[in-house]
Amino acid sequence: MTDHVHAKVGNDTGFITLDRPKAMNALSLDMIRAITGTLLDWRDNDDISAVVIRSTTEKALCAGGDIRFFHAAGRATPQGGSAQIEDFFTEEYALNYLVHCFPKPYVAVMDGVVMGGGMGIAQGGPQCGVRVVTDRTRLAMPEVNIGLFPDVGGSYFLSRAPGKLGVYLALTALAIDAPDALYCGLADHYVPASELPQLADLVGSTAGAGLREAVALFGRSLRHEAGPSALQAHRALIDDHFAHRSVDEIVASLRSDDHPVARTALAAMERRSPLMMRVTFEMMRRGATMGIADCLRMERNLVRRTFEHGEVIEGVRALAIDKDNAPRWNPPSLDGVTDDMVARFFEPAWPTWAHPLRHL
């Protein structure tokens, strides 16, 4: 067990606590392995009836993967083919699948920032997942901002958001709050941060088998306090713009609209990787008709192609290394992105029988 992941059991409930506060619990490979090993042990342990994942800091459950690691490992090997990167994404996506399919109540306390890889360890499946958000929650899939794409199952859970909200979140990489997360189906219950101690008391005193129902009852009593959803209020406008057949058409549509929501979305997309927005749009189209395992296998293929291209290395450099916020995207604009460039990302990197996630 890494120093950044703590596991304990109480009242037949297993507690996983992330403890890397200076990095906002950004996931390292060691952390992924620690969480995976713990969940596998508890999945097959009849004495454990439920799992809770939480953080030691109110700032974040998990801000994502360790992007500085991506930059260092990707630069160290030609075409980004680092064995460390390969292991990281293979094992992270296997963990995401384990979380989604976990057969016991899995409660994710999504307090503070929950982005990227943090979403992957919070988005439990509909049968057993319990996702709790607070007034401090800031949720996003910001990958196109660093030259990547919404992974960790994003092609699955974003494509199932109401209307075109998933496409909007994927292409803009904008953050949302608790009411929006609830409306988009990316969270189940709202608990004010001030009530988290009471939630902790409830969890600690409830036998694991009844935990899902107890948290649901507690959350329902407080849901009205979450407030209105801005995405719900502007759903028609977002659906209208993001229902277009291509990213180019979406951008053109947004440019024709002076509404503040359209202006904000356009400004965000104009800063994102043109290539990865196109790849993301195609990924979302495909993911809408695929199961979680196939979505993760598709995303694993896309990761290999993305590091081969190098867009993510440049994105991380601009955001987290040099911090100049001036990425040199390749191509630099949407009109330079061809259909062949996008299609290349979806070409199989392995034969089916050799895919690293073939066993999902």
Give dist(CA 46, CA 41) in Å, integer.
Answer: 10
Residue 58 contacts residue 111 (beta carbons within 8 Å) = yes
Give dist(CA 300, CA 121) in Å, integer.
Answer: 16
Q: Which two tokens stand for residue 310?
A: 């190098």
- Is 112 an annotated catalytic residue? no
For 4, 315, 316, the CA distances from 71, given in Å and listed in that order, are: 21, 9, 6
Single out the catalytic residue among 65, 116, 124, 219. 65
Single out the catalytic residue among 66, 143, 177, 314. 143
Single out the catalytic residue among 66, 151, 188, 282. 151
In terms of Cα–Cα distance, which of 295, 183, 339, 166 is closest to 238?
166
In terms of Cα–Cα distance, which of 313, 312, 306, 314 is closest to 341?
306
Give dist(CA 31, CA 68) in Å, integer.
Answer: 15
Task: Using only the alpha carbons of the chain, give its radius of gyration.
Answer: 20
Strand order in the sheet with 189-190: 5-10, 13-18, 50-55, 106-110, 129-133, 189-190
Give dist(CA 116, CA 318) in Å, integer.
Answer: 18
Q: Which two tokens stand for residue 179?
A: 């009411």
The answer for residues whose C-beta is within 8 angstroms of residue 177's C-beta and 6 or more apart is: 135, 137, 138, 139, 230
- Strand pairing class (113-115; 60-62): parallel
- Is 143 an annotated catalytic residue? yes
Single out the catalytic residue among 74, 112, 116, 117. 117
Give me the active site residues, please: 65, 117, 143, 151
